[in-house]
Amino acid sequence: MTKNRFLTGAVVVALLGAIGLTPAEAQTDSAPPATVAPATASPVGTVQTIPGMPPVVNPANIYSEARAGNLNPEVAKDPARIYVPNLRSNDVYVIDPATMTVVDHFPVGKSPQHVVPSWDLRTLWATNNAEGTTDGSLTPIDARTGKPGPAVAVDDPYNMYFTPDGKSAIVVAEARRRLDFRDPHTMQMQGSVEAPQCRGINHAGFSIDGRYAIFTCEFGGMLAKVDTVNRQLLGYLKLSKGGMPQDILTAPNGKTFYVADMHADGVFVVDGDTFKETGFIPTGVGTHGLYPSRDAKVMYVANRGSHKVHGPRHSKDGSVSVIDFATNQVVKTWPVPGGGSPDMGNVSQDGKLLWLSGRFDDVVYAIDTTSGTMQIIPVGAEPHGLAVWPQPGRYSVGHTGIMR
Residue 124 resides in a domain: yes
Helix (H, G, I), strand (E, B) or coil at 26: helix
pLDDT for the residue 133: 79
| Average pLDDT of adjacent 10-residue blocks, the chain of 404 residues | 36 37 38 40 71 97 97 96 98 98 98 98 97 90 98 98 98 97 98 98 98 98 98 98 95 98 98 98 98 98 95 95 98 98 98 98 98 98 98 98 98
Cα-to-chain-centroid distance, residue 358: 17
The pTM for the full model equals 0.90
CATH number, domain of 47, equals 2.130.10.10
Residue 346 resides in a domain: no
Task: Report the sign of the C-alpha dihedral through residues 103, 82, 91, 310, in that order.
Answer: negative
Structural domain including 264 reads: 3-28+39-63+105-334
CA dist., res. 216 & res. 238, Å (int):
10
Residue 43 resides in a domain: yes
Partners of residue 372 on adjacent β-strands: none
Cis-peptide, bond into residue 312, ω within 30° of zero: yes
pLDDT for the residue 293: 98
Residue 7 resides in a domain: yes
Strands (E), 109-264: 112-117, 123-128, 137-142, 152-153, 157-162, 169-173, 178-182, 189-194, 201-206, 212-217, 222-227, 232-238, 245-250, 256-261
Of 300, 310, 324, the residue nearest 249 (C-alpha)? 300
Residue 12 resides in a domain: yes
Cα-to-chain-centroid distance, residue 146: 22
Report yes or no: 16 and 22 within 8 Å, Cβ to Cβ: yes
Into how many domains does the chain fold? 1
Residue 193 resides in a domain: yes
Cα-to-chain-centroid distance, residue 229: 20
Strands (E), 218-337: 222-227, 232-238, 245-250, 256-261, 266-271, 276-282, 287-292, 298-303, 319-324, 329-335
- 132 CB-near residues (< 8 Å, 6+ apart): 156, 175
Report yes or no: 38 and 252 within 8 Å, Cβ to Cβ: no
Residue 385 resides in a domain: no
Residue 344 resides in a domain: no
